[in-house]
Amino acid sequence: MSKITIDRYDLALLDALQRKGNATNATLGEQIRLSASQISRRIQRLEEDGVIAAYVAMLAPSALGLGVTAFAQVILERHGDSTNEAFENAIAAMPEVMDCFSVSGDADYMLRIVVPDLAAFSELMMKRLLRLPGVARIKTSIALQTVKQTHVLPLDHLTQPNKSSKRIRYAES
């Protein structure tokens, strides 16, 4: 795995793209003080290096009738490649499950679920999630309000010596 070098222009570009992914190269260039062609080359390199994974539009769930967010801790009956793989494949096919993490601690998986209402949540739990093979228990929590939700990753650690990833090197430019 090759080492990725990120400089202050890349950091500024990544921060700007996280906040407004549809900004034009000209707008980004004005903001970062580089030409549109330099912005284009940097974006292409960051995409090729796997730093930029995708471009998406962040939709407002409540504006689309998705008023309930729930978190579910899933505990499997047994552990093994086939059990975990079957569970993960089933979860991947459920559009209501926004995030699924394999976690340490009391649970095996943590899910973030978005549904229209409590009836839809109940149906998802009772008729789909609890019926998945290998599921022993599910402990759920319903979000009462969103205090903070962001897609913007913190990048400050990249400029601090000895704290950045071994795969990413920060270079002064």
What CATH number is associated with residue 34?
A: 1.10.10.10
Query: What's residue 164's pLDDT?
Result: 53
Q: Specify whether 24 is located in the same domain as 80.
A: no
Q: Specify whether 39 is located in the same domain as 65.
A: no
DSSP character at residue 161? T
Structure tokens at 38: 């330099």
- Yes or no: say if 10 and 173 are a contact pair by the CB < 8 Å rule: no
Q: Specify whether 52 is located in the same domain as 102.
A: no
* Structural domain includes residue 22: yes
* Structural domain includes residue 114: yes
Of 58, 84, 102, the residue at which a domain comes to its end is: 58
* Structural domain includes residue 73: yes
Q: What is the CATH number of the domain that holds 71?
A: 3.30.70.920
* pLDDT tens-digit series, residues 68-121: 999 999 999 988 888 899 999 999 999 999 999 999 999 999 999 999 999 999
Order of strands across the sheet with 68-76? 97-102, 109-115, 68-76, 135-142
* Structural domain includes residue 156: no
Q: Specify whether 68 is located in the same domain as 86.
A: yes
The closest of 52, 53, 37 to 6, measured between CA atoms, is 52
* pLDDT tens-digit series, residues 122-154: 999 999 999 998 999 999 999 999 999 999 999
- Yes or no: say if 85 and 102 are a contact pair by the CB < 8 Å rule: no
Q: Specify whether 37 is located in the same domain as 106.
A: no
Query: What's residue 160's pLDDT?
Result: 78
Quick one: pLDDT band at residue 173, thresholds 50, 70, 90? low
Average pLDDT value for residue range 40-54: 96
Number of domains in the chain: 2
Quick one: pLDDT band at residue 157, thresholds 50, 70, 90? confident
Of 21, 38, 58, the residue at which a domain comes to its end is: 58
Q: Specify whether 34 is located in the same domain as 94.
A: no
* Structural domain includes residue 84: yes
Q: Specify whether 115 is located in the same domain as 103.
A: yes
- Domain containing 71 equals 61-142
Single-letter amino acid code for the residue at 82: S
Query: What's residue 69's pLDDT?
Result: 98
* Structural domain includes residue 80: yes
Query: What's residue 43's pLDDT?
Result: 97
Q: Specify whether 78 is located in the same domain as 133.
A: yes
* Structural domain includes residue 153: no
Is residue 171 pLDDT above 90, yes or no?
A: no
Distance CA 43, CA 32 (A): 13
* Structural domain includes residue 150: no
